[in-house]
Amino acid sequence: MKTEKFPSKKSIALLLDPDKAKGDSLPDILKIAVKCNPDYILAGGSLTFSGIDNMIDAVKRLCSIPVVLFPGNLLQLTHKADIIMLLSLISGRNPELLIGNHVIAAPFLKNDREKIVPVGYILVSCGAKTSVEYVSQTEAIPSNKPDIVVATALAGEMLGLKMIYLEAGSGATKPVPSEIVKAVRENISIPIAVGGGIKKKKEIEDIYKAGADLIILGNSCEKDPGLLSDACRIRDSFRNN
């Protein structure tokens, strides 16, 4: 799959954590995914107790949905994904997540350059402190500071990043406000992904209307498999309009 087509307009991704999507649960999750037809499977998580290669191999055996690596740490690097998100946590000031880890990863990924999409990762505070904040030792941008989110996204685009990912984080009590998504969309030209805290059809509709290109669903689909089906139907309605 060519990275210049990632993400396609108005697309849906299902995020699978290798520590949760394993054993008998993975085939069940993928049966639902194949039926609903999301555009991508994202593979990754904040911590690593299970090998990501095994999960990606299993996903590819069970379905043909493109796999996108969403690495939570250096232990999750792999050549097996179809697309690799090279994440820069531009909302924080941890130098390891701005350039340090990238230097370590570069020799491993040097032959995968055609798969790599440089992504500006922006954490937006949307309720309880998330795993990403704790593990990354950074603070999320408060959701009542849209000007800081916009300026950060603008800086990411000016630095040459190819996508901005607005993330409420795993365990967020609510998603990134659609007003923030809209403000970012009005100021940058590169694709916008939005994830974390999305639990309702109305939230998906509002985020798409605000200008998101890619919506990423994770824990909410494990608790409510119907949400993925609803999300894909909403995606199709936006594509057809």
What is the model's pLDDT at position 151?
98
Of 113 and 47, which is predicted with more confidence?
A: 113
CA distance linking residue 234 with residue 203, whole number of Å: 11
> Mean pLDDT over residues 226-230, rounded?
95
What is the model's pLDDT at position 149?
98
Most confident stretch, 170-174, 222-226, 236-240: 236-240
11-33 pLDDT, tens digit per residue, is 999 999 888 777 788 998 999 99
Q: Which two tokens stand for residue 166?
A: 């607005």
Helix, strand and coil content of the chain, in percent to the nearest 5, comes to 45, 20, 35
- Asked whether 15 and 42 are in contact (CB, 8 A), the reply is yes
- Asked whether 123 and 138 are in contact (CB, 8 A), the reply is yes
- Asked whether 174 and 197 are in contact (CB, 8 A), the reply is yes
Query: Residue 113 class from Cβ within 10 Å (0-12 exposed, 13-18 middle, 19+ buried)?
Result: exposed
Strand partners, 195: 167, 216
CA distance linking residue 161 with residue 140, whole number of Å: 20
Q: Report the amino acid identity of residue 117.
A: V
- Domains by residue range for the chain, with CATH: 9-240 (3.20.20.390)
> Mean pLDDT over residues 160-189, rounded?
94
CA distance linking residue 190 with residue 211, whole number of Å: 11
Mark out the alpha helices in the chain (DSSP H runs): 25-36, 52-62, 95, 101-109, 131-136, 146-158, 178-185, 201-210, 219-223, 226-240
Q: Which two tokens stand for residue 216?
A: 């990423």
Strand 67-69 to 83-89 pairing: parallel
Closest to 124 (Cα-Cα) out of 155, 89, 97: 89
What is the model's pLDDT at position 64?
96
Q: How confident is the model at residue 172 (pLDDT cuts 50, 70, 90)?
A: confident
33-88 pLDDT, tens digit per residue, is 999 999 999 999 876 677 899 999 999 999 999 999 999 888 899 999 999 999 99
Closest to 55 (Cα-Cα) out of 40, 74, 41, 35: 41
